[in-house]
Amino acid sequence: MKRITRWALSLMACASLATAGATELRIGVMTTLSGAQAVSGVDMRDGIELAVKQLSGKVGGQPTRLIVADDQFNPGAAKQIAERLVKKDKVQVLTGIIYSNILLAAAPVALENGNIYLSSNAGPSQYAGAQCDSGFFSVSWQNDAVHEAAGKYAQDKDYKRVILVAPNYPAGRDATTGFKRFFKGEVVEELYPKLGQLDFAVEIARLREQKPDAVYFFLPGGMGINFTKQYRAAGIPDKTSLLTSQFSADQDTFAASGDAMIGVYNTGHWSTDTDNAPSREFVAGFEKAYGRLPSFYASQGYDAIMMIDAAVRAAGGNADDPVALRKALAESKFKSVRGKFSLGPNRFPVQDFFVRVVSRDSKGRLYNKTESLVLSNHADAYGAACTQK
């Protein structure tokens, strides 16, 4: 596959490879870097690269090589790339995938080979419950969880009638399932546009016709940008509240969506205003390196590297011992940008979720202003069914 590129860290001295006892840590970073959905993948890659640079090119104290690949937003291509990363490049850890359909095609390659897959974004329910795998870890969330927070918020607001809009793929189905788990009002209709769709005239016509109290949409990347712009242009009355999650209202979409996003309430686990030392250091470092504020995708990529760093150190620096590395990852002793962080029995995060509103900061930039806590120490609904140790 021509899309794989090797990225040599400028801060990593070549001589370090010859250091006695040193184990080269090879991390495969597969993410979406081309097409309409690439903006999230670019932020993911940049967050990962920033973390490695801040660690002076030595994750876990070991000389580190990132091998970055574009999954082309294509499950078939992703599987082939994963096979090359695992079998030819001999990566010990694979990470970076944004979309659940891509993960479901690529992660089995790493897991069946005895390697580790550390999800820095996608969290399909398939890996959270009975089909969990001892080599699968997540530093993000299980797909349903962010939407469960939105459902809880809609329930607290006492909305009676809600329409749901999500792409017709695994994460889209997880999204509506999660929302409905906490929202007890009437779901008037569930609309499932094709993944990657950019024209929402049909869906918006249905919203206008049904006149719900609120519309909740999960439309990642360019889908969310176009939907929000078209929704605003359609002049839907203000009495219909527009709700979403961090997937459609974050730094990766703000530049393109502009003022259409102002005032949109959404749920997430981290924002650029999260007030703790690791987060402040990350935001400042990202802005200095790239000249923009980071999205939550970047924060999760950054956390993924910091989680690997702590685990490799705990495993005595031996990145080639998958058993020791799994044990250390399960203990997750690292300082997350989101603050408190732990893993449940299925190795998915237990964490807080907040409601935020899209606002402008003192420099006039769009950002998510954290309003209130929605779910505290929240674990996903599938962990009890996981029997892997």
Q: What CATH number is attached to the domain comprising 214? A: 3.40.50.2300
How would DSSP label each residue in 325-336? HHHHHHHT-S-B
Q: What is the pLDDT of residue 12?
A: 40
Dihedral (CA of 1, 9, 60, 283) sign: negative
Number of domains into which the chain is organized: 2
Residue 76 has pLDDT above 80, yes or no: yes
pLDDT at 201: 97
151 strand-pairing partners? none
Asked whether residue 235 falls in the same domain as residue 330, the answer is no
Residue 237: pLDDT band by 50, 70, 90 thresholds? confident
Q: Quick one: 76 and 213 in the same domain?
A: no
**What single string gives the DSSP state of each residue in 134-192?**
TTEEESS--HHHHHHHHHHHHHHTT--EEEEE--SSHHHHHHHHHHHHH--SEEEEEE-
The answer to whether residue 387 is domain-embedded is: no
**Per-residue confidence at 388, pLDDT binned at 50, 70, 90?**
confident
| 115/229 same-domain check | no
Percent of the chain with pLDDT over 90: 88
Whether 137 and 283 share a structural domain:
yes
DSSP assignment of 262-320 equals TT-EEEES--TT--SHHHHHHHHHHHHHHSSPPPHHHHHHHHHHHHHHHHHHHTTT-TT
pLDDT, average across residues 324-352: 95
For 287-307, write each residue's pLDDT tens digit.
Answer: 999 999 999 999 999 999 999
The residue written with tokens 């505290």 in the block is 376
Domain contains 389 = no
For residue 315, what pLDDT band results from cuts at 50, 70 and 90?
very high
- pLDDT category of residue 10 using cuts at 50, 70 and 90: very low
Looking at the structure, do residues 166 and 197 belong to the same domain, yes or no? yes
Record the pTM: 0.91
> What confidence score (pLDDT) does residue 22 get?
63
The range of the structural domain enclosing residue 364 comes to 144-268+352-380
Same domain, 130 and 181: no
In a domain, 166, yes or no: yes
Q: Are 75 and 105 in contact (CB under 8 A)?
A: yes
pLDDT at 163: 98
Q: Are both 257 and 372 inside the same structural domain?
A: yes
CB 145 within 8 A of CB 380: yes
